[in-house]
């Protein structure tokens, strides 16, 4: 079989079965990311046994669900196509007069600041927390944990981010590099690396900085909300500067650590809210990470 034949087959698969192509491409990309992170963690003395757990398998399924285009095709794109039909009448072009480089910097800073406040709201609003708690239910945090988000969660955060950013008047293509940068940072900050970035700790989110945010202790959990820039936590008094926690997760979340179990868990919490019952929180001892 010649190289030309192989390329023709690949081209046919890509055009005739785009979803399969997207999933395969996502799998290949995640494998590359896994090799890089695994190598860094092995060199830095990270806990590699986490990758042999069902927890990691669940997060990997989430990763394929999002990176493989399933969520985008069937939920995210249809929903925001409807939003886009309304947006032209709201287009204020607030940064349209700025030079392109400065316009992108402003766009990125606003996006990161929005991410901070939305994330903080997710921890302080019972409805939003019901869905966001899926991300925090992981007791064996790995780089793949960045994708452990209930399907409702990115729809809510996407809307709360998309609308203000469109009001700025930035081109749609600005979203792509911002998202790519966020994905890269998310993978690094969820890894078991001892990086603190030295004096940049209060400026850029590091693995230690974000690891504290996944602590099962409430005082640590309700801190370090920053996505890429830690400066927001520094400015608004939500920064923690300790070591990586000994325990991760959210005690009391119902459902086994499976894709479907985590899908159902938020609705069980919402049912409790409607009944006036207390919902799962991060108070208490938590569940120790498998080491």
What integer pLDDT is reported at residue 279 of this predicted model?
64
What integer pLDDT is reported at residue 287 of this predicted model?
40
Half-sphere exposure of 235 (CA within 13 A, CB side): 10
Rounded to an integer, what distance in angstroms lies between the CA atom of residue 263 and that of residue 35? 28
What integer pLDDT is reported at residue 199 of this predicted model?
95
What integer pLDDT is reported at residue 170 of this predicted model?
73
Q: CA-based angle 71:193:235, to the nearest 5?
A: 80
- The 10s digit of each residue's pLDDT in 41-77 is 999 999 999 999 999 999 999 999 999 999 988 988 8
- The 10s digit of each residue's pLDDT in 265-281 is 899 888 888 887 766 65
Rounded to an integer, what distance in angstroms lies between the CA atom of residue 135 and that of residue 142? 12
What integer pLDDT is reported at residue 163 of this predicted model?
84
Percentage of residues of the chain with pLDDT beyond 70 = 86
What integer pLDDT is reported at residue 207 of this predicted model?
97
What mean pLDDT is reported for the chain?
86
Give kind and range of the element (H or E) at residue 183. helix 175-189
What integer pLDDT is reported at residue 13 of this predicted model?
57
Phi/psi for 227 (5° steps) reads -90, -60
Rounded to an integer, what distance in angstroms lies between the CA atom of residue 163 and that of residue 14? 32
DSSP letter (8 states) at residue 240: -
- The 10s digit of each residue's pLDDT in 204-230 is 999 999 999 999 888 888 999 999 999
What integer pLDDT is reported at residue 142 of this predicted model?
97
What integer pLDDT is reported at residue 90 of this predicted model?
63
What integer pLDDT is reported at residue 15 of this predicted model?
67
What integer pLDDT is reported at residue 176 of this predicted model?
83
The residue that leads in pLDDT, 169 or 258, is 258
What integer pLDDT is reported at residue 272 of this predicted model?
82
Q: Using an 8 Å Cβ cutoff, are 23 and 69 in contact? A: yes
Rounded to an integer, what distance in angstroms lies between the CA atom of residue 208 and that of residue 192? 8
Rounded to an integer, what distance in angstroms lies between the CA atom of residue 139 and that of residue 55? 8
What integer pLDDT is reported at residue 291 of this predicted model?
41
Return all residues near 95 (Cβ < 8 A) that are at least 6 apart.
103, 106, 107, 168, 169, 170
Residue 111: pLDDT over 50:
yes
What integer pLDDT is reported at residue 16 of this predicted model?
58
Position 96 confidence tier, pLDDT thresholds 50, 70, 90 = confident
Residue 177: pLDDT over 90:
no
Return all residues near 201 (Cβ < 8 A) that are at least 6 apart.
208, 209, 230, 241
The residue that leads in pLDDT, 19 or 148, is 148
Give the residue among 31, 29, 16, 14 at the shortest CA–CA distance from 67.
29
Tell me the whole-structure pTM to 2 decimals.
Answer: 0.89
């Amino acid at each position: 079989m010649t190289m030309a034949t192989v390329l023709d087959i690949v081209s046919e698969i890509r055009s005739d079965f785009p979803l399969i192509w997207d999933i395969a491409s996502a799998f290949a990309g995640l494998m590359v990311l896994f090799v890089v992170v695994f190598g860094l963690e092995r060199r830095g003395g990270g806990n590699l046994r986490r990758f042999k757990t069902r927890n990691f398998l669940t997060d990997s399924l989430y990763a394929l669900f999002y990176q493989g285009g399933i969520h985008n095709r069937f939920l995210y794109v249809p929903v925001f196509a409807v939003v886009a039909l309304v947006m032209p009448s709201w287009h204020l072009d607030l940064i349209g007069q700025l030079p392109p480089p400065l316009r992108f910097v402003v766009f990125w800073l606003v996006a990161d600041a929005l991410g901070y406040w939305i994330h903080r709201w997710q921890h302080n609003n019972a409805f939003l927390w019901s869905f966001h708690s899926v991300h925090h239910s992981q007791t064996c945090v790995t780089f793949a944990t960045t994708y452990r988000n209930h399907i409702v969660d990115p729809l809510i955060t996407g809307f709360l981010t998309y609308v203000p950013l469109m009001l700025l008047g930035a081109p749609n293509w600005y979203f792509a590099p911002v998202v790519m940068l966020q994905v890269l940072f998310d993978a690094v900050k969820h890894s078991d690396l001892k990086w603190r970035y030295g004096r940049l700790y209060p400026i850029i989110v590091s693995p230690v900085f974000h690891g504290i945010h996944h602590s099962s202790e409430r005082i640590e959990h309700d801190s370090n909300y920053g996505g890429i820039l830690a400066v927001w936590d520094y400015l608004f008094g939500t920064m923690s500067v300790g070591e990586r926690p000994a325990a991760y997760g959210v005690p009391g979340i119902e459902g086994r650590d499976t894709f479907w179990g985590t899908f159902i868990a938020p609705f069980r919490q919402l049912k409790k809210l409607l009944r006036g019952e207390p919902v799962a929180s991060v108070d208490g001892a938590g569940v120790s990470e498998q080491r």
